[in-house]
Structure 1
């Protein structure tokens, strides 16, 4: 009796069925779209996928020619649609060619077939969310799109050109690592920025705090403090936004540690996790104490994909990295702690990434790196409280200081247990 798993014919049929399924999935979506049916739909797309699978499975050398042959009728159908319907969209044509490639991938290898399923699912989702994507794009102004394009272009051009080694002229810094960390931190902010744009200006105060915390917790604190000066009765809801934006800093730091040095994560997760948990509980209590009438207008978020702030962060990160290395060499752990405190007053990301890297290199002990990261986070938390006092009302300052003070105490207490 033939084992169906080991039977070559059964394996080929299975892969053809996968190709057919991917084509049908994309075809059904295209059939339901407004303009795609004029070119191809729920019957044609499975045929595209089978076409690619059969050609690659039995005539792989002829695949480029087969793809070019298919492009001819697709071009004719596209031109006809432009002439008779005035629709110049290329989405369906692009989806058709991609479906042929996905069909070919199902016959290439098991790994390629798995990847084809993933890509096919992603393509279907992308085609389905046409309206939300267009609405999101419409919310972004032209200058913001231009800024994002410039940033991405600079990243793609600069990153490969930078040397991936320590450069003596830069006092031993690795230029590619520094720039990679700039891209990483900016990317975190951009994800939050996109979330804020998708949710729109009517997003709730909770989302305002979370999104603001990832984009810029300092800017959120300043904005909320100024709103309490305009209307003193909003101190509860503004305090909630400040606290939420401040505690987002802790899970953000955990993400950075996990990416740069996963081995350090078990050391920092307890104090930073405790600060996150205590802050979240306090934020929930504050949220319950706000009334339905206490609402604030969400601030317009700035696109993090801007070149000047990215370069500034890169400079700060490079300086903090150098100072931390020399401080550790000259003064030991006390030098690291002092650097962490003063660096944390301005930025937590730079110190978190620096100590994660130094711990990964073995330059500092995990306990020292953990303590330094917590010190930087505590220092930055103090800054939020100080801004609430300086720019907001007395009630806002008292409220933020009380809540963030409890958060800091919880983190320091658990730091003592870990260290």
Structure 2
């Protein structure tokens, strides 16, 4: 068998397989006029039209799409005449068949990996119909405004900003500053939408995870306050520690986006801290899981005011770090990292990662600065828990976080630079 013929059979096989996958989902979820075989044949027809178009021109694809459209119209007319009362108004199946034809045509001359990804996204959207509709019903005006504001921040403001540096130390780049804002807001909006999907009745574990994705500091404050309202201290401590664990994951994501090479150096410390946070949390949760807790309300994380504040804070930290290194030396960077960590770990993480990517600070210094900021932020939140929640929740929270904090401090002081 020639290589070209083998490639041809492979494309046809992939087309039929993806068609069967989508058709199986459609046929299993309800009465539709097109099922398993229809989707497989539609995908195969699209692939054949694509192969023919390579030899006879693009009109073959247009004719194939027209033929599929006519069949859909006739199929719907026949079904409406047969059992009008059984039909629920929807165009999902028709759109699915048209997309299946397009996907089959793409397989004829496109990248296989992209076709598989599209089919995967396709079947997920089809299968989670009930959950997606439930999420849409839960979204109110404030939630839709969060989505629209994120679109505004990302796709309207970002493209018009100049992508060049200004000012002293050549660190202020409006495009890069706002790009970092979109990263942080995007993570927070994702956590906010998950919170809306699961609702305020989410248990303490999910509350800590989702709250940490939106804002670990706000989640810490909310659960500390709820102890005063009667929430059991162990549950509050678990939620607060989980939010801190999610913050460590956020830090890893931010480093990976800005400076992937730095992530390799930061992983030993951040990974150890994450593990030493989750282990005691799991132990305490097993002892207190019979009690449950409602997740505190979360605020819209995509408001323009906080986004602008975040941009200013990131730019300020970036400038102060560059100025401190230039004027005071390496040790001054740790003081800046501590002060910045008290207010916002995201800003210092992104600033240090950018300086590391531009080789303004060494990778060894960069990960230590980030861990220092994480420790400072943990100390700030511990003080918040003590003042707002009281001594019992403070003691339990400190017991959960102390192994992680000790490990982070030990890594900063004694981890050899040559081994990182």
TM-score by length of 2: 0.89
Equivalent of 1:64 in 62, 65, 80: 62
Contact preservation (8 Å) 1:345, 1:376:
yes
Asked if residue 349 in structure 1 is aligned to residue 330 in structure 2, the reply is no
**Is the 2:238–2:281 Cα contact (8 Å) retained in structure 1?**
yes
> Is the contact between residue 169 and residue 322 of structure 2 (CA under 8 Å) also seen in structure 1?
no
SS in 1 for 2:215: helix
1:69 to partner: Cα distance:
4.5
Distance in 1 of aligned mates of 2:116 and 2:129:
21
What displacement does 1:351 show? 0.4
The separation in 2 between residues aligned to 1:138 and 1:114, in whole angstroms, is: 34
> 1:149 Cα deviation (Å)?
2.2
Q: Which runs of 5+ in 1 are unaligned?
A: none
Write out aligned runs for 1:248-267 (5 A).
248-267=246-265
CA contact (8 A) 2:150 2:186 kept: no
* TM-aligned CA deviation for residue 295 of structure 1: 2.8
TM-superposed CA distance for 1:7, in Å, is 4.6
* Cα distance in 2 for residues equivalent to 1:82 and 1:185: 49
Task: Write out aligned runs for 1:197-212 (5 A).
Answer: 197-212=196-211
8 Å CA contact 2:258, 2:353 repeated in 1: yes
- 1:227 is matched with 226
Choose from 41, 53, 59 the match for 2:47.
53
Distance 1:7 1:369 in 2: 51
**Alignment correspondent of 2:330:** 333
* Pairs within 5 Å for 1:291-330: 292=290, 294-330=291-327
Q: CA deviation at 1:288?
A: 3.5
Instruction: Give the equivalent residue in structure 2 for 1:34.
Output: 30
Alignment of 1:55-204 (within 5 A): 55-60=49-54, 61-62=58-59, 63-75=61-73, 84=84, 87-109=88-110, 112-168=111-167, 172-204=171-203
Number of matched residues? Answer: 409
Whether 2:355 is the aligned partner of 1:361: answer no
Give the deviation of 1:172 after TM superposition: 4.3
- Rounded to whole Å, the distance in 1 between the matches of 2:80 and 2:161 is 45
Q: For the residues of structure 2 that align with 1:339 and 1:26, how far apart are their CA atoms?
A: 54
- Partners of 1:224 and 1:82 in 2: CA distance: 55
User: 1:282 touches 1:403 (CA, 8 Å); kept in 2?
Assistant: yes
For 2:324 and 2:400, the matched residues in 1 are separated by 33
Note the alpha carbon deviations across 1:198-240, whole angstroms, 9 max, x for none: 3333322122112212211111111111112122x71122122
1:399 deviates by 2.8
Shift, 1:80, TM fit? 7.7
Counterpart check, 1:8 vs 2:4: yes
Distance 1:94 1:286, change over 3 A: same
Please tell me whether the aligned partners of residues 202 and 298 of structure 1 are also in contact (alpha carbons under 8 angstroms).
Answer: yes
> Cα distance, 1:171 vs. partner?
5.8
Equivalent residues of 2:277, 2:401 under 8 A apart: yes
Indicate the RMSD between aligned Cα atoms, in angstroms: 2.5
d(CA) in 1 for partners of 2:246, 2:115: 36
State the 1:405 CA deviation: 3.7
Residues 312 and 332 of structure 1, relative CA distance in 2, 3 Å threshold: same
Bigger mean CA deviation after superposition, 300-309 or 336-345 = 300-309
Greater alpha carbon shift after TM alignment, 259-268 vs 370-379: 259-268
CA contact (8 A) 2:273 2:405 kept: yes
SS in 2 for 1:163: coil
CA contact (8 A) 1:78 1:93 kept: no
Aligned-pair distance for 1:18?
Answer: 2.0
**CA contact under 8 A between 1:148 and 1:306: conserved in structure 2?**
no
Evaluate the alpha carbon distance shift between residue 409 and residue 8 of structure 1 in structure 2; reply closer, same or farther with a 3 A threshold: closer
Aligned-partner Cα distance in 2 for 1:134–1:171:
48
TM score, norm. by length of structure 1: 0.89
Q: How far, CA to CA, are the matches of 2:398 and 2:13 in structure 1?
A: 62
Alpha carbons of structure 1 residues 361 and 43: separation in structure 2 relative to 1, 3 Å: same
- For the pair 1:382 / 2:379, whether they are aligned, the reply is yes
